[in-house]
Amino acid sequence: MIQKLMRKLWEADTVLSVVFTLLYPIMRIFSPPEKLIKPYIRNGQVVADLGCATGYYALALADSVGPEGKVYAVDKNKKSIRVLEKKVEKGGYRNIEAYVSSAADLNFIKDRSVDFVFANTLL
Ligand SMILES: C[S@@+](CC[C@H](N)C(=O)[O-])C[C@H]1O[C@@H](n2cnc3c(N)ncnc32)[C@H](O)[C@@H]1O
């Protein structure tokens, strides 16, 4: 049981996801997500956030595109997406669709078309 837990903890994606989540409050001070995305995102746009993790940028993107827009938040790490889904529910976001998927497989995107692709530190 402990061995299984340790193995899971050290899966690269899980470690990365935990590290990023812990870093987010610090990142928010020095590099607020809104500042990075502001020049590119407009109200009503459809955006794909590839490798969204737990949504540091996806939530800011959703705020920027507004209720008429949409954010497809995509990450291959199921745990990260579950955390994001909780944030989406808690924050009452209706314009985020979160998917556990590889960035190479985006066939759930309507008309296979977005206005902007955001992919920060995607491997
Ligand atoms: C370093 S984190 C960056 C998270 C976020 N983009 C940010 O800037 O805060 C990279 C994320 O990309 C995801 N990822 C890496 N390669 C991926 C791929 N091919 N498809 C989907 N997600 C991927 C990982 O699971 C991880 O959550």
pLDDT-based confidence at residue 9 (cuts at 50, 70, 90): low
Q: Whose CA is nearest to atom 9 of ligand 1?
A: 56
Is the beta carbon of 76 within 6 A of some atom in ligand 1? Answer: yes
Q: What is the CA radius of gyration of the chain?
A: 15
pLDDT at 15: 74
Residue ID of nearest Cα to ligand 1 atom 25:
77
Number of neighbours of residue 38 by Cβ within 10 angstroms? 11
Cα–chain-centroid distance for residue 57? Answer: 6
Ligand 1 pocket member 103 (CB < 6 A): yes
Supply the residue whose CA is at minimum distance from atom 5 of ligand 1: 52
Q: Does residue 46 register a pLDDT over 70?
A: yes
Residue 100 Cβ contacting ligand 1 at under 6 Å: no
What topology is assigned to 2-118 in CATH?
A: Rossmann fold (3.40.50)
Rounded mean pLDDT of the chain?
90
pTM above 0.75, yes or no: yes
The pLDDT confidence band at residue 109, using thresholds 50, 70 and 90, is very high
- Domains of the chain by residue range: 2-118
- Structure-token pair, residue 55: 């949504």
